[in-house]
Amino acid sequence: MSGATTVVVLIAAPPGLRGHLTRWFTEAAPGVFVGSPNARIRDGLWKIMADRIRDGQAVMIEPARTEQGWTVRTAGQDRWTPTDFDGLTLMSRPRAAVDSHGRPRNK
């Protein structure tokens, strides 16, 4: 799968992390990175992103041998979570910060 496109989205990420990604990716829009690193590089970059994201969010969409042709990894706070639904990857939203009556939930 080498040479296939990988997309990384960073939200509220530390500036140093964005700078680190520009070694391997092109920043197509603020916080959106596109590139074609091999699997070893992707895995190494993901470890760095997951370790450094702090209160932000990181999403990596990468090539995979699935029906959709891709898989997704997420890290950080209040993140959407990849969920398998009959062999398709769908994204589950984080739970709302308020209950059904509009009151803040306790963490």
Does 107 fall in a domain? no
**CATH number of the domain that 21 lies in?**
3.30.70.240
61 Cβ contact partners less than 8 Å away, ≥ 6 residues apart: 6, 7, 8, 70, 71, 72
Does 94 fall in a domain? no
pTM of the shown model: 0.80
Range of the domain at 61: 6-78
Does 99 fall in a domain? no
The domain tally of the chain equals: 1
Does 98 fall in a domain? no
22 burial type by CB count under 10 A (0-12 exposed, 13-18 middle, 19+ buried) = exposed
Q: What is the pLDDT along the chain (107 residues), one digit of tens a residue?
A: 456 899 999 999 988 999 999 999 999 999 999 999 999 999 999 999 999 998 999 999 999 998 899 999 999 987 778 888 888 888 887 776 556 666 666 65
